[in-house]
Amino acid sequence: MGKKNKNKADEPQQVTKTETEIILDLLEKTLNIEGDVVEFGCYRGDTSVLMKRLLEKQNSEKILWLYDSFEGLPAKTREDSSVAGDQFQAGELLVTKREVIEKFKRNGLRLPKIKKGFFEDLNPEEDVPAKISFAFLDGDLYTSIKTSLKLVENRIEKGGIIIVHDYNNPELPGSSRAVDEWLKTHPSKNLEVKETLAIIR
């Protein structure tokens, strides 16, 4: 399931090791596609740092764009209700933008573009790149996933990949709901599920 590794400070907390490997593998496979890389819901920047390291190692000129409220999760809607996921309340997973910046500095990486704010309040023209090759959507909740899918759907390039985290995670049922609803309106898209990753091409 999705939310693991809770006690290992230097390892990704929110994404399992296997999921991280899948994400990095697919990111690498899209390096030849035009467009930038986005992560909606970066939290502490654990996966972000790994993605940026890969981009720098491969001398990629792609820009990494990170998005987070830096106020923690917004309120759940009824689509998110789950006894198993009771711990995911509004304000949970709060970190500061400064913490993410420091993490990149500690890792000797150039800073990505970091946009603070709720996804719903972003200005798509200014805040989201026009072309996207790889999108990692990890906002946990129904509305957050729905909004981030909407922000990337017309920007993802042919051959690009969208990965949504927490698919089939009983703690966060809103993620699957948002993906399934979106797929119904995008019948040309293919879904592959690995671990709790919905891989959309």
Ligand X SMILES: C[S@@+](CC[C@H](N)C(=O)[O-])C[C@H]1O[C@@H](n2cnc3c(N)ncnc32)[C@H](O)[C@@H]1O
Sites of contact with ligand X (CB under 6 A): 12, 14-15, 39, 41-43, 46-47, 68-69, 72-74, 93, 118-120, 138-141, 144
CB nearer to ligand X: give 24 or 31. Answer: 24
Rounded to a whole number of angstroms, the minimum distance from the CB of residue 3 to ligand X is 7
Rounded to a whole number of angstroms, the minimum distance from the CB of residue 187 to ligand X is 26
Rounded to a whole number of angstroms, the minimum distance from the CB of residue 138 to ligand X is 4
Q: Find the helix or strand (DSSP H, E) in which 161 lies.
A: strand 156-165
Rounded to a whole number of angstroms, the minimum distance from the CB of residue 147 to ligand X is 6
Residue that the structure tokens 């491969």 belong to: 58
Residue that the structure tokens 């809607």 belong to: 77
- H-helix segments, 31-133: 46-57, 97-106, 124-127
Long-range contacts of 90-98 (CB under 8 A, 24+ apart): 93/14, 93/43, 93/140, 94/70, 95/43, 95/44, 95/68, 95/70, 96/70, 97/68, 97/70
CB nearer to ligand X: give 66 or 156. Answer: 66
Residue nearest to ligand X (CB): 41
Cα 196 to Cα 201: distance, rounded to the nearest angstrom: 16
CB nearer to ligand X: give 33 or 118. Answer: 118
Rounded to a whole number of angstroms, the minimum distance from the CB of residue 177 to ligand X is 15
CB nearer to ligand X: give 6 or 158. Answer: 6
Quote the tokens at residue 125: 């023209």
The answer to whether the beta carbons of residues 165 and 2 sit under 8 Å apart is: yes
CB nearer to ligand X: give 41 or 85. Answer: 41
